[in-house]
Structure 1
Amino acid sequence: MYIKSLLLIVLTWITGLFTLQAQSVNHRFNEVYKGDNLQQVAFPIGGMGAGMFCLEGTGAVSHMSVRNNPDMYNEPAMFAAIALKGVPNSARVLEGPVPGWKKFGQRNAARGAEGSTYGLARFREASFLARFPFGEVTLQDKTLLLEVQITGWSPFIPTDEDNSSLPVGALEYRFKNTSSKVQEYVFSYNARNFMAIPQRPGMYDSTIGPNHILPVKNGFVLTQDSTPKTPFHKGSFAIFTDAAETVIDHCWFRGGWWDPLSIAWNNIEAGQVKPVAPVGKDAPGASVFVPFKLAPGQERTIRVMMAWYVPNSRLRYGLPVKKAADSTVRDASADLPSIYHKPWYSSRFGDVFAVADYWQEHYDSLRKHTQLFTDAFYKSTLPAEVLEAIAANLTILKSPTVLRQYDGRFWAWEGCNDETGSCTGTCTHVWNYAQALPHLFPAMERTIRNTEYNESMDSAGHQNYRASLPIRPAGHQYYFPAADGQLGSIMRVYRDWRISADHKWLQGLYPKLKRSLDYCISTWDPKHKGILEEPHHNTYDIEFWGPDGMCTSIYLGALEAMIRMSTFLGEDVSTYQPLLQSGRTYLETQLYNGEYFIQRVQWEGLQAPNPVIAAQGSSEESERYSPEAEQLLEKEGPKYQYGGGCLSDGVIGAWLASVCGLPAPFDTTKIRSHLQAVYKYNLKKDLTDFSNPQRPTFAMGEEGGLLLCTWPKGDKLALPFVYSNEVWTGIEYEVASHLIMMGKVKEGLDIVRTCRSRYDGRVRNPFDEYECGHWYARALSSYALLQALTGVRYDAVDKILYIDSRVGDFTSFLSTATGFGNVVYKGGKAKVQTVYGNIAIDKIIIL
């Protein structure tokens, strides 16, 4: 054991050397962003499903997305400032230099960024450090003898989904006087009424409907009223401080052109602190002022708290129910107050003032409990690139990708477009990959399973892979069932049951699980071979024709999960055991080419019609067959297959089994061989000579990345599946964690470093991994790296903690359904340090 641990420590040290080589010159993984690496940094702050804004690496606020939709280019004129009383030209916006790309790369750049704060004097240097969910900006300016640090955050407390879903955020400004004399300062936080809806985007001289700036204790509230036809316009955003000295200007100077901001800045420069009472309507902006003194070496922190409230939307998605068989459950959405999405927080709070009161009253305890999570997570001794990858993608849970509807249930997009969500409905075959939510907020994750097996499934077992919003029964006349998503969901039920130990929940779902699996068998494996032979839809947005390693591996995992759940409940498994055995045999003998698993393209002799005929029923013009495509069909089979290719996702069922606490559903030696082939053929360190006619900017040029598929044997199809040349971070993490689980630590970490090197802040936001949209859910597969490196898995059913370390001694974060803390493993012995809640452990098994 000692020799094994020593070798693993040496291996980790060696990979650390590779880590240094893989990073950009100025940025080390999980450390400070500065210089060019600060360019794209934008760190989400907000509650799960409640909206967000971003704290940029400079200290600016951007991506203001509080209206139940993403708004990527919404960078309102809101800013903090500091001025030294009696010192000319000392006023500074509490931000670093404006990133160069904003001067010419923004919308309407040719108009000179009118209405922005870019032209106001600011600090000369900035740096940023992320310790999720805290983001810390350090500002420096040699002309001012003042240290400034900004800490942005919002509550994130695993197992406490309600306090983690609040529509709030905070910016804490810490000042230290580094001069040799007492200094008088005026701090201010200033904002145009960005909740007002302009007649023209970005032009607030004319707005739609009445708007106001209202008073709140130590602050102001930006509001926009609704009209009978536009209830979704109604919204409020409160900004207030904890400082007793606070003075409020509720109404900036009213005038044309840039008068309001010009006069507001004049007042800031003069250190003028003058209260201005609220006016009836149409106040252009407001400011809070906090005058204070600091002796030499003295420090002070001023909290700027923010809360918002937008109770209505016009979000409604999903097909209408066409026939009784479409639904097996009552339409619970009839109990909701609107046919459109209303956020969860609107069921708990009556208005923004109630939110602000709660935020102010509970601020200290929420910060304390959030800090417990941060301290426990960053106490981990795992490689820096791993901690960075996991933490950076937890921001997805704070982004507009996630919604939480009025009754508290979770619903999500796949990602975010610039001003709308991207791809509706907590898509089963995307959220298949996401491993953070079930461990951090297990009760929230189980609401997704409840939707999948109730509102999203019909009486035959057909499961819509996109849930309606608000969540309700939906018609099944359009969406194909997605084989990977529907079968993967069965495995995720097993995972969620072992995490929660909720036997009653499992028992209630079981008849629907059986109906779902039986539907999958009759639809895609009607000959009971244990393989998916009929055309089956999947995460690549096409159908695979004939058996393939990817989806068949998920099928085998689902059968294994079903057998185990059925056995626990005393149900019959005689149908599933032979399928598992025959499928395993077929996969290992017919779909394994001696190095990796492939697809056997088949389109004749099936129950499905000819691909040309089958495609005629599609609503997507791109899926239909042109005369040229028909010729291609005769030559090599249906479009969009992978055939003999080496698919990065090719054994995902085995990965899902591992993260769900199931045994490998087929030969681990062959699984390891496949993963090694993926690493050998699909990981490219430089894509300069690689051509990608699909969506190239995920990785291109001198960047590296893991290609979704390659054809090492030279048998590439003319039109393989539509995303085959792309690089997806969610699959990079899946493969990396799976390699590590198979003992290939160096290779797995190499993929993680290659991925995160693309997100170093120079070109891409380190806190926004994108695929089909910003903050793309598949990237939450990164959380599996924790389990991969440590082998830590808590089984609440048996109250057993499993450990199978691949890195020798370690300290790692652990989150369960009842609490979180750390696992400390040293010298072959382990202990758990619980810092929040409780974790009942009867036995620790070290593998």
Structure 2
Amino acid sequence: MKNNIYIALVFLCTIFVVNGQEQENKWPVLKTYKGEYLTKVAMPLGGIGTGTVSLGGRGDLRDWEIANQGALGWKPVFNSGRGGINIAPFFAIRTKATQGDTQIRLLEGPLSTNNLDGDWGSNELNSGFPRFGNCEFQAAYPLAKVQLSDENSPVKVTLKAFNPMVPGDTKTSSMPTAILKYVVKNKTNEAIETTVLGAIPNFIGTDGWGGTSKGNKNTFKKEQNFTGIFMENKKVDTLNGKWGTMALTTPETKGVSYRTQWSPRLGWNGSLIDFWDDINDNGELEERKGEYPGNKPATLAIKAKIPANSTKEFVFVLTWNFPYRLAWEAQFNYGEHPPIKNHYATVYNNAWDVAKEVIPNLPVLEKRTVKFVNAFVDTDVPEVIKEAALFNVANLRSQTVFRDEDGYTFGWEGTGSVKGIAINPKGAAAGWGFGSCTHVWNYEVTTPFLFGDVAMSMREVEFKYATDLQTGNMAHRVRVPIKTEEHSRRKDAADGQLGCLMKMYREWQLSGDDKKLKELYPYIKAAMEFAWKDSGWDKDANGVLEGKHHNTMDVNYIGPNPQMQTWYLGALRATEEMALKMNDKAFAKKCRAIFKSGSDWTDKNLFNSEYYIQKVPKPTDYQIGEGILVDQLVGQYMAHICDLGYLLDKNNMKTTLKTIKKYNWKEDFNNHLSTFRSYAVGNEKGLIMGYYPKGKREARPFPYYSEVMTGFEYSTGAHMLYEGMEKDGLEVFTAVRNRYDGKKRNPFNEGEFGHRYARAMASYSGLLAYTGFHFSAVEKSMEFTSKSGKYFWSNGYSWGTCQVKNNEAIVTVLSGKIELKSFTLNGIGTKKLKGKVIDENESYTIKL
């Protein structure tokens, strides 16, 4: 009897362990796209500062932006033979049943019907290839599953694509790789001979904007635990941003065949026909000799037999290394401006080295990434909040962001499209808005809460390199290479500089890095003092910005206004706290006094019982005036995130948010005039930048007053959530994400001044506001909403979950560790703890 009980217990434990492992490794799905909603879907794959290639909604690879340039819309091609057609990168499957026919299909779903009527038929690349008739795209960034099926195919295929991403682990999250796992299910009752292959052109020397790949070379190589094709070009200048290496590899060492190029000089699509016949014959590739002109296609195939009703994985790993980039858009001559070495190129010598690290660690990289995404998705937060926060992390890993040799992080405002039509007379560009523009990057909060060291490196650039210690003037666009930064080139932006002071406080709180605060404090103090002297912003230091101040509307405001005032008041509060830490009590006292004066004055003089207005000294173009500005309380938005308390009267601000929702909200853009750019059209919904009550608009208001921009909508929507206006805040977030629905726009590309716009990463604030999460590594404190539920948290260094129920919270650390001296549930109270350390994979229950 005892033995039977023992066996039963072992059996049950075994089931539990297996199911637990399956659950742990199960890929979550946050959003599914089907049919016409697949058209615009393109999820970038790549690491922080490495560039990306995007996985399209039908399973194709598009937007090849790995050669140091934004190049949205670009697919590298190779030719099918003299007089033939161009072929884009593709993956395909060959199946042969014992009693059936041989099929070859592209591992892609149906083509969109939007681009079929070109001069020579379809304008879609690869449109002549057989493909699967049914397709779904399931996403929870950075994980994507493309489900492919066809009633005439003996197999069903799931493409599982991802790049490693683990909050707090910047190295792992900065791998220049795209991992493609084709899971092939044999639907039949007999074994099927199967080959999965990929063909990638060696385009090194080009980047979508120009250049030549002449001199490229592909080499098949074997390692103990993987095989693949290494792509290089020995004729391109190694300091050129278009120069680098690529590799297409697989963990398989058996059943692998390849071509380093296709057959050269075969006319009328002969190279394609030769390839098709070759793979159709026996499911294996044979090398072709001769000199193939143009982008030599590297083709790698894996052959295996799949038993009846069984499944087999075919794994491909794309890696790259393009070491050098040029400095911003105006600095094309690297003879005058030295090129910048990408940080990831200091970690890896070439693309083959990347594969050497990625492939042996694939199970761990996938497990850690899935662990994070599961923890994020499996929470009691509205789907739209999770979607907005998670999908916009893609911007951080696009060509919008790069890191230099020393690990400093820089960002464009947005990146360019090779097919773009630019308002700028210079034409289309690979990047828009150079210089880590402070007043744009002020709004985003994704970076600090997921990758704290990356955020801190940006603060170090802003204060240590972009701020003149003598005057306190901070350049709102920084030059690169950073070592050549000249203090003579200074153009301040009031909102940018003041917001950076708040961000510095935030990064210090999240990291607890007192040493870094001490190092940067002289620059912090100088930047705050600048408001009272050379800038002319507040010469009498009474807490009111009365002078001329440049800002994110790309104009100069003249006279006090709520947008600048709240940034100013927030900066004063943040600097006061940092001064106290540095024992600079006199300066802290001065900041507090100016804050109190400015706060009182703003409520008394700018609040008109419905919202805050601008006091314009004399009629001037491009002002806010008595308009209702969408982000007039932006400094309070950031103050809530920083846990700095209220900057103005709480009731006045809530009234203002209600007014913004009432007047700036548009239910139907068919009834609205957008005088500049159109990011919402037709029956879409959104919050416009400014609304002018009848008779209150100047002839020339600030430039963007009539349009929507997602970063401003998110920051305002999150502020509504902080103030208890949950219905309104969620409605704002929902309106944005409904515009980026896969049919009309790409869910992974919210634009503004260019694509994958930095300010869109304000979306993470919705998660912070909804969960009430605050963390201070300085005070060793954590705070959450008291609403029952399970919530994800991350401080940029460690992350986990918090389960709240009644007066109890279970804090779980899933990566890293934290120390707590206090824990707060909003509205219930605070529990003092004795420096409780919660290690990785540990949980701690706190009862209040």
TM-score interval, smaller chain: 0.7 to 0.9
Pick closer, same or farther for the CA change 1:365–1:527 going to 2, 3 Å: same
1:686, distance to aligned residue in structure 2 (A)? 0.6
Residues 352 and 113 of structure 1, relative CA distance in 2, 3 Å threshold? farther
Task: Provide the secondary structure at the position in 2 that maps to 1:434.
Answer: coil
Deviations 1:689-716 (A, max 9, x none): 11112002x1122111110010135301
2:315 paired residue number: 303
Task: Identify the match of residue 746 of structure 1 among 727, 732, 736.
Answer: 727
Does residue 566 in structure 1 map to residue 579 in structure 2? yes
Say yes or no: does 1:760 pair with 2:741: yes
The count of residues paired between Structure 1 and Structure 2 equals: 761
Alignment partner for residue 674 of structure 1, among 640, 656, 659? 656
- What is the identity, as a one-letter code, of the residue corresponding to 2:795? T
**CA-to-aligned-CA distance 1:376-395 (integer Å, 9 cap, x gap):** 11111101111111111011
Residue 668 of structure 1 aligns with an amino acid whose one-letter code is: K
- Write out per-residue CA displacement over residues 527-575 of structure 1, whole angstroms, 9 at most, x where no aligned residue: 2221111010001100111000010111011111111111122102232
Residue 582 of structure 1 corresponds to 597
2:324 is paired with a residue whose SS is: coil
Secondary structure, in 3 states, of the residue corresponding to 2:572?
A: helix
- The aligned runs of 1:378-389 (5 Å cut-off) are 378-389=377-388
Query: After the TM superposition, which residues 475-490 of structure 1 pair with which residues of structure 2 at under 5 Å, given as runs?
Result: 475=486, 480-490=491-501
* Deviation digits for residues 91-115 of structure 1 (CA, Å, limit 9, x no counterpart): 11000012222435xxxx5455679
Deviation of 1:339 (Å)? 1.6
Please name the residue that 2:141 is paired with: 132
Find the counterpart in structure 1 of residue 708 from structure 2.
727
CA contact (8 A) 2:155 2:184 kept: yes
Q: Distance in 1 between matches of 2:517 and 2:720?
A: 31
2:422 maps to what in 1? none
Offset from partner CA, 1:420-456 (integer Å, 9 cap, x none): 1111111111110110110111111111111111211
Q: Paired residue for 1:468?
A: 479
User: Retained in 1: the 8 A contact 2:95–2:192?
Assistant: yes
**Counterpart code for 2:274:** I
Cα distance in 2 between the residues matched to 1:172 and 1:308: 18
Question: Given residue 397 of structure 1, which amino acid in structure 2 is its aligned partner?
Answer: L
- Tell me, in whole angstroms, the C-alpha distance in 1 between the residues paired with 2:327 and 2:134: 42
Shift of 1:272: 3.7
Q: Specify the alignment match of 1:630 in structure 2.
A: none
Counterparts of residues 768-783 of structure 1 (less than 5 Å)? 768-783=749-764
| Structure 2 residue identity aligned to 1:223 | E
Aligned to 2:804: 825
Percent identity, aligned pairs only, is 31
Partner of 1:448: 458
Shift of 1:245: 1.6
- Match of residue 218, structure 2, among 205, 213, 225: 213
- How many Å apart are 1:280 and its aligned residue? 7.4
Do residues 41 (structure 1) and 59 (structure 2) align? no
Candidates 547, 552, 566, aligned match of 2:560: 547
- Contact 1:644–1:713, Cα closer than 8 Å, also in 2: no
* In structure 1, distance between residues paired with 2:458 and 2:251: 38
Partner of 1:695: 677
Q: CA deviation at 1:396?
A: 0.7
Equivalent runs, 1:400-799 vs 2, <5 Å: 400-419=399-418, 420-458=430-468, 459-475=470-486, 480-522=491-533, 523=535, 524-571=537-584, 572=586, 573-603=588-618, 637-696=619-678, 698-799=679-780
Tell me the amino acid that sits aligned with residue 801 of structure 1.
M
For structure 2, which runs of at least 5 residues remain unmatched after alignment? 1-28, 77-87, 419-429, 827-848
Closer/same/farther in 2, CA of residues 370 and 228 from structure 1, 3 Å limit: closer
Q: 1:194 and 1:208 mapped to 2: Cα distance?
A: 6
Give the structure 2 partner of residue 294 of structure 1: 306
Residues in 1 aligned to 2:304 and 2:383: alpha-carbon distance in whole angstroms: 40
CA deviation after TM superposition for structure 1 residue 521, in Å: 2.2
Amino acid at match of 2:162: W
Equivalence map 1:57-206=2 (5 Å):
57-76=57-76, 77-85=88-96, 87-88=100-101, 90-103=103-116, 109-110=118-119, 112=121, 116-195=125-204, 197=206
- 1:210 shift after superposition: 0.7
**How many angstroms apart in 1 are the aligned matches of 2:209 and 2:456?**
40
- Residue 269 of structure 1 and its aligned partner are, at CA, apart by 3.6
- How has the CA–CA distance of structure 1 residues 279 and 159 changed in structure 2, closer, same or farther, with 3 Å as cutoff? farther
State the shift of 1:590 in Å.
0.5
CA contact (8 A) 1:597 1:650 kept: yes
Which deviations, in whole Å up to 9, do the C-alpha atoms of 1:234-292 show, x marking residues without a partner?
22211111223211122211125533333223333444413427877757313212121
Q: What amino acid is aligned across from residue 303 of structure 2 in structure 1?
A: P
SS in 1 for 2:181: strand
Separation in structure 1 between the aligned mates of residue 345 and residue 357 of structure 2, nearest angstrom = 14
**CA distance in structure 2 between the aligned counterparts of 1:828 and 1:278, rounded to whole angstroms:** 73
CA shift in 2, pair 1:503/1:775, >3 Å? same
1-side partners of 2:209 and 2:403: how far apart?
Answer: 28
Q: 1:298 and 1:669 mapped to 2: Cα distance?
A: 63
Q: Which position in structure 2 is the counterpart of 1:12?
A: none
Q: Does 1:840 align with 2:819?
A: yes
In the alignment, does 2:273 pair up with 1:274? no
Offset at residue 526 of structure 1 (A): 0.5
Is the Cα contact below 8 Å between 1:317 and 1:468 reproduced in 2?
no
Are 1:344 and 2:343 matched, yes or no? Answer: yes
Match of 2:788 in 1: 809
Find the partner of 2:241 among 225, 232, 250.
232
- TM-score, scaled to structure 2: 0.86
Give the Cα separation in 1 of the matches to 2:290 and 2:349: 24
Deviations along 1:603-625, one digit per CA (max 9) or x if unpaired, are: 5xxxxxxxxxxxxxxxxxxxxxx
Measure, in 1, the Cα distance between the counterparts of 2:474 and 2:359. 44
Letter in 2 for 1:156: M
Q: CA deviation at 1:687?
A: 0.9
Q: Is the 8 A contact 1:319 1:474 kept in 2?
A: no
- Aligned to 1:574, the other structure's residue is in SS state helix
Q: 1:228 to 1:706 in 2, by over 3 A?
A: closer
Contact 2:771-2:784 within 8 A present in 1 as well? yes
Residue 313 of structure 2 aligns to a residue whose secondary structure is strand
Counterpart AA for 2:455: E
| Superposition deviation, residue 675 in structure 1 | 0.7
d(CA) in 1 for partners of 2:682, 2:124: 36
SS where residue 305 of structure 1 aligns?
A: strand
In the alignment, the residues of structure 2 paired with residue 739 and residue 272 of structure 1 have an alpha-carbon distance, to the nearest angstrom, of: 59
SS of structure 1 residue aligned to 2:359: helix
Aligned residue for 1:354, secondary structure, equals helix
CA distance in 1, matches of 2:281, 2:205: 28
Q: Partners of 2:144 and 2:659 in 1: how far apart?
A: 39
More RCO (CA 8 Å, sep 6+): 1
Corresponding residue of 1:10: none
Contact kept, 8 Å, 2:473 with 2:490, in 1: the verdict is no
> Secondary structure of 2:820's match?
coil
Q: Residues 402 and 177 of structure 1: is their aligned pair in 2 closer, same or farther, counting only changes over 3 Å?
A: same
Q: How far apart are the structure 2 equivalents of 1:447 and 1:772? A: 24
SS in 2 for 1:779: helix
Letter matched to residue 157 of structure 1? V
For the aligned residue pairs, the C-alpha RMSD in angstroms reads 2.4
Q: Secondary structure at the residue paired with 2:391? A: helix
Q: Which residue of 2 aligns with 1:361?
A: 360
- Paired residues of 2:714 and 2:732 also in contact (CA < 8 A): yes
